[in-house]
Structure 1
Amino acid sequence: MQSLKELFLNLRVRDIIDILIVALAFYKLFLLIRETRAEQLTKGILALFLFTKLSEWIELYTVYWILEKAMTVGILALIIVFQPELRRALEYIGRSNFFTKSFIEIKGESLSEVVDEIVEAVASLSRQKIGALIVMERATGLSEVVETGTKIDGKVSSDLLINIFIPNTPLHDGAVIIKEDMVKAAGCFLPLTENTSLSKDLGTRHRAALGISEKSDSLSIVVSEETGAISIAESGSLARYLDTKTLRQILVDMYKPKDPKPTFITKWRRKYEQREGK
């Protein structure tokens, strides 16, 4: 108790800040690995660490020597095993608002027009039970994916999107990439998800939509060829059986630029202008 009392008495402000930063880092790391292979691997590593310390305490020297060497070599193995998760973490940092601007700024009639064209195309494809996969690029660039397909660089329109996915046409069997209000490419190849716990009735389009959402911050729209059901994939999650009203609201929320928080200078300028009667 005396040592704890001394610890609290000697605690400085910088120590509290240090602890909060480490706690926040661990929390963000937990969010990144939650419900992934890394979560189970992390549990295994923690168990191995506990067994190593336990063998040291009860003086099982041979077991301790083996586990200690395994932990030393395991650092290199961790970098290899956690490569996808490390990539996700670095991409997450790179996508933060500190480094990037809003991916798009479409307002008023332009916003309504783009959303209407996409929703109209998806609704038509759904009624006709024509399979479709549309990927909306956001902050993370998808140039590598665009290069796998045929470049179009045309303005978003329902007629264009419908014609692309008509069966037996050259581009119908790939993904369409949309950036802002432009169709960048069609017939693109996407990486498939590595999630092994998905339902067996999900086809290649749904798995491809999940795959690209795991590797970027894109939003993917999927129309099922068998049922005509509309689905959305984002951040490794899939929402199925959406109606056009819900789809429209999702797209409006995605396209609408977020209002940046006012800085101290902005607040001061507003107060100054109000005081001067401007």
Structure 2
Amino acid sequence: MLGEGFSLFNLLRFTVDIALVWYVFYKLIMLLRGTKAIQLLKGIFVVFIIYLISYFLNLQTVQVMIEQIIVWGPLAVIILFQPELRRALEQIGRGSFFSRNRRSEEEIFRESLDAIIKSVNYMAKRRIGALITIEKETNMGDFIQTGIPINGQLTHQLLTNIFVPNTPLHDGAVIMKGNQIIAAACYLPLSESPFISKELGTRHRAAMGISEVSDAITIIVSEETGHVSLAKNGELYRSVDEKRLIDLLSKELAPELAKISTFKQWSWRGKKK
């Protein structure tokens, strides 16, 4: 019985040990993702493969060279990637290295929402027509293919510039996902609903059309009046002000974040702290 208990304890300890190591590696990869350090990891993997090949083929010269790289490699890594290492140590010191990225998700959404609101306000004041569709769960691939690929980071400058009149991309819809502008000049299906007001133009009908066949959110800026509207789930919210637009986007795109009191306080102001 004692032996079984001891074996069970060793198994549990081994499992915890492996899990911790994998978790640390996962957090490191997430930390380094998108930086030049990720290329270093690929390089280390290639060197390791070359070393194994040279070992089995008995390529002594190659082995000696790789052994020298292994000896001096750690020092070179510290020198070349000092900023990344410092950032990792700072995150460990703040305790954020082992925490979930809730705060970063909130910050990303705040920045995206702020960019959208700034762009919409700018275009509404100047009566620049715009059609902005934000993808949710329903895949928008078929509609993205009708436009011009952008695949760029969302900024209010980029979003606004797309809709400047008489430019190649201004006619059609922008399709976004998260904080990325996926494509511009996309064609959306027009709604054939008889309940849409006759005074509404093609942009509003396109916004209603896409909301009837997907769960996407679409913002419309009227070129004639400068009024801002929002379409979702076959419904059209006309002439929404900034406060209402922020509230609708927050509830639809980040319902969990919208419940956070600090996020609500920020969103009602319509700007970052």
Q: Residues 179-216 of structure 1: CA distance to partner in whole angstroms, max 9, x if unpaired?
A: 11100000000000010222111000000000000000
What is the CA distance between 1:247 and its match in structure 2? 0.9
Match for residue 229 of structure 1? 227
| C-alpha separation in 1, matches of 2:251 and 2:234 | 19
Say if 1:106 and 1:256, in contact at 8 Å, map to a contact too: no
**In 2: Cα distance, 1:111 partner to 1:118 partner:** 10
Work out which of the residue numbers 187, 190, 205 in structure 1 matches 2:188. Answer: 190
Deviation of 1:166 (Å)? 0.3
SS at match of 2:238: strand
Distance 1:228 1:106 in 2: 34
Q: Is the contact made by 1:154 and 1:182 (CA closer than 8 Å) also made in structure 2?
A: yes
- Distance, in Å, in 2 between the alignment partners of 1:132 and 1:199 is 19
The match for 2:132 is 134
**Partner in structure 2 of residue 153 of structure 1:** 151
Shift of 1:258: 3.9
Normalised by the size of structure 2, how large is the TM-score? Answer: 0.55
Q: Which amino acid is 1:164 matched to?
A: I
Q: State the SS of the aligned residue for 2:115.
A: helix
Which of residues 208, 212, 215 in structure 2 aligns to 1:214?
212
Distance 2:193 2:231 in 1: 13
Contact 2:173 2:187 (8 Å CA) reproduced: yes
* 1:56-95 aligned within 5 A: none
CA contact (8 A) 2:136 2:253 kept: no
Q: 1:257 to 1:249 in 2, by over 3 A?
A: closer
Deviates more, 1:234-243 or 1:245-254: 245-254
Distance (whole Å) between structure 2 residues aligned to residue 144 and residue 166 of structure 1: 25
Which consecutive unaligned segments of at least 5 residues does structure 1 have? Answer: 1-104, 260-278
Q: 1:248 Cα shift?
A: 1.3
Q: Which residue of 2 aligns with 1:110?
A: 108
Conserved? CA contact 1:106–1:255, under 8 Å: no
Q: Could you tell me which amino acid in structure 2 is paired with residue 129 of structure 1?
A: R
Unpaired segments of 5 or more residues in structure 2?
1-102, 258-273
CA distance in 1 between partners of 2:130 and 2:230 (Å): 12
Counterpart of 2:197 (choices 172, 177, 199) is 199
CA contact (8 A) 1:106 1:257 kept: no
Q: CA deviation at 1:257?
A: 4.9
Could you tell me how far apart the structure 2 residues matched to 1:116 and 1:202 are?
A: 27
Question: Are 1:166 and 2:179 an aligned pair?
Answer: no
Q: What is the letter of the counterpart of residue 206 of structure 1?
A: H
Q: What's the CA shift string for 1:222-271, capped at 9, x where partnerless? A: 00000000000011110101111111122222232549xxxxxxxxxxxx
Amino acid at match of 1:158: H
Q: What are the superposed Cα offsets for residues 55-98 of structure 1, whole Å, 9 maximum, x if unpaired? A: xxxxxxxxxxxxxxxxxxxxxxxxxxxxxxxxxxxxxxxxxxxx
Q: CA deviation at 1:106?
A: 7.0
1:144 matched to which residue of 2? 142
8 Å Cα contact 2:116/2:156 also seen in 1: yes
CA-based RMSD: 1.5
- Percent identity over the alignment? 47
Q: Which amino acid aligns with 2:161?
A: N
Q: Partners of 2:189 and 2:214 in 1: how far apart?
A: 11
The one of 117, 120, 138 aligned to 1:119: 117
SS in structure 2 of the partner of residue 241 of structure 1: coil
Q: What SS does the corresponding residue of 2:138 show, helix, strand or coil?
A: coil
- Aligned equivalents of 1:125 and 1:208: distance in 2? 19
| Residue 133 of structure 1, CA deviation | 0.2
Letter in 2 for 1:125: M
Size of the alignment, in residue pairs?
155
Residues 111 and 191 of structure 1: is their aligned pair in 2 closer, same or farther, counting only changes over 3 Å? same
Name the SS for the 1:152 alignment partner.
strand
